[in-house]
Amino acid sequence: DAMVIQNPRYQVTQFGKPVTLSCSQTLNHNVMYWYQQKSSQAPKLLFHYYDKDFNNEADTPDNFQSRRPNTSFCFLDIRSPGLGDAAMYLCATSRDLAVAAGGYFGPGTRLTVT
Amino acid sequence: GIQVEQSPPDLILQEGANSTLRCNFSDSVNNLQWFHQNPWGQLINLFYIPSGTKQNGRLSATTVATERYSLLYISSSQTTDSGVYFCAVGGDYGQNFVFGPGTRLSVLP
**B24 with B5: CB under 8 angstroms?**
yes
Among B33, B90, B94, whose Cβ lies nearest the Cβ of A31?
B94
In the predicted model, residues of chain B with pLDDT beneath 70 are 92-96
Substitution target from A44, A45, A56 for chain B, most B beta carbons within 10 A: A45
Identify the pLDDT of residue A103. Answer: 74
Per DSSP, helices labelled H in B1-109 are none
- Cα(B38)–Cα(B82) distance, integer angstroms: 7
Whether B41 has its CB under 8 Å from any CB of chain A: the answer is yes
Q: What is the mean pLDDT of each run of 10 residues along chain A (114 residues)?
A: 89 97 94 93 91 90 96 97 96 74 83 97
Identify the pLDDT of residue B2. Answer: 86
Partners of A42 on chain B (C-beta within 8 Å) are 86, 99-102
Among B40, B43, B97, whose Cβ lies nearest the Cβ of A101?
B97
Min distance B45 CA to chain A CA atoms (Å): 6
